Amino acid sequence: MANAVKTIGVLTSGGDAPGMNAAIRAVVREGLANGCTVKGIRRGYSGLLEEEIIDMDAHSVSDIISRGGTILQTARCPEFVQPEVQKKAAGILKDHGIDGLVVIGGDGSYRGAQKLSHYGINTIGLPGTIDLDIACTEYTIGFDTAVNTAMEAIDKVRDTSTSHERCSIVEVMGRGAGYIALWCGIANGAEDVLLPEKYNYDEQELVNHIISGRKHGKQHHIIINAEGIGHSTSMAKRIEAATGIETRATILGHMQRGGSPTCKDRVYASTMGALAADLLCEGKTNRVVGYQHGEFVDVDIDEALAMTKGLDEYQVKICQSLGNAY
């Protein structure tokens, strides 16, 4: 049966995430294997509007599966919310013969893909974000690498924190979501984790907890603070003043977004990228690829954007109890 699309475009949008290159490689190679032409669009929707469109062949994605970042580069394009800009972008895609588009990014990027589908471009979204904050999927490209990077960094902070018998606040990324913080909280055995979804801003409770831990012989007190709570440096000063225990703040920042992707990110991103190309060839549009209950699935973008997601309550509970057994 003939493919429903002839030319597939692929772009990365929003914050980069390790594994995006593996996804690009899979879109390109699966698209070519299906008999399509594949084009790369540089710098997300901004590059699309500037017609930064390049031909991709199998060789153009050689040697990238192990590299962090995105070879297509990425951008935020605030004007893409405007209907006339979306219409112009759809026109550019059509001028370049692109009838199918894979958008690798987060919720915001899917909204762009959704709008382009209304203008006759077949679109498939792939969940590319370290934040894990996409409701229709239990996995997002880059989370596994980022959370492992953060975990290793926090292990290092913990060593020095114990040596100096200090309290350490480590701030991790996640925008408004606490997934990286919660996973590190469990993986690093933190004494406290401040999650945007849960923290009640009762700093006195935190202070009491640190003092109590010290009385019970704790040599350090690791607080993992999610970016959505923030203010780690001023919090450290207040905690030191209130407890009399030396307190340091470490903000991990963008190091969490870089680095060579883990095996899981390479394999899942490759699977999702190939599936996106296959779905386009089958004539699917306005869909997001996700991972649910052990399977790779595709979900309608409108439905995906209407879904909500929360932290696993049991993991929140054990994070607190396992890190505080004395």
The nearer residue to ligand ADP, 134 or 190, going by C-beta atoms, is 134
Set 131, 144, 192, 265: catalytic member: 131
| Cβ at position 128, least distance to ligand F6P in Å | 9
The nearer residue to ligand ADP, 3 or 145, going by C-beta atoms, is 145
User: Is there binding between residue 306 and ligand ADP (CB under 6 A)?
Assistant: no
Query: Which residues contact residue 138 at a Cβ distance below 8 angstroms, ignoring those fewer than 6 apart?
Result: 290, 291, 292, 293
Q: Which two tokens stand for residue 319?
A: 């994070």
Single-letter amino acid code for the residue at 7: T
Choose from ligand F6P, ligand ADP, none: what does 112 bind? Cβ within 5-8 Å by kind: ligand ADP
The nearer residue to ligand F6P, 126 or 130, going by C-beta atoms, is 130
User: Is there binding between residue 284 and ligand F6P (CB under 6 A)?
Assistant: no
Q: 181 with 311: CB under 8 angstroms?
A: no
Query: Which residue in the block uniquely carries the two structure tokens 């239990």?
Result: 138
Please indicate whether residue 131 is annotated as part of the active site.
Answer: yes
| Piece of 85-93, 128-136, 282-290, 302-310 that binds ligand F6P (CB under 6 A) | 128-136
| Piece of 4-12, 53-61, 126-134, 298-306 that binds ligand F6P (CB under 6 A) | 126-134
Q: How far apart are CA 60 and CA 103, in angstroms?
A: 18
DSSP 8-class letter at 8: E
User: Is there binding between residue 290 and ligand ADP (CB under 6 A)?
Assistant: no
Choose from ligand ADP, ligand F6P, none: what does 174 bind? Cβ within 5-8 Å by kind: ligand F6P
Query: Which residue in the block uniquely carries the two structure tokens 């993991």?
Result: 315
| Cβ at position 13, least distance to ligand ADP in Å | 5
DSSP 8-class letter at 260: P
Q: 9 with 100: CB under 8 angstroms?
A: yes
Cα dihedral sign, 273-279-280-281: positive
| Piece of 30-38, 71-79, 87-95, 272-280 that binds ligand ADP (CB under 6 A) | 71-79
Q: How far apart are CA 74 and CA 13, in angstroms?
A: 5
The nearer residue to ligand ADP, 106 or 273, going by C-beta atoms, is 106
Residues in the chain: 326
Q: How far apart are CA 30 and CA 274, in angstroms?
A: 5
| Cβ at position 111, least distance to ligand ADP in Å | 3
- Applying CB under 6 A, which of residues 47, 106, 185, 213 lies at the interface with ligand ADP? 106
User: Is there binding between residue 196 and ligand F6P (CB under 6 A)?
Assistant: no
Choose from ligand F6P, ligand ADP, none: what does 227 bind? Cβ within 5-8 Å by kind: ligand F6P
Q: Quick count: other Cβ atoms within 10 Å of Cβ 84?
A: 8
User: Is there binding between residue 173 and ligand F6P (CB under 6 A)?
Assistant: yes
Break the chain down into helix, strand, coil percent, rounded to 5: 45, 20, 35
In order of 115, 158, 169, 263, the CA distances from 217 in angstroms are 58, 16, 19, 39
Catalytic residue list? 131
Give me the residues that bind ligand F6P (CB under 6 A), please. Answer: 15, 129-131, 173-175, 227, 257
Give me the residues that bind ligand ADP (CB under 6 A), please. Answer: 13-15, 45, 76-78, 80-81, 105-109, 111-112, 115, 129
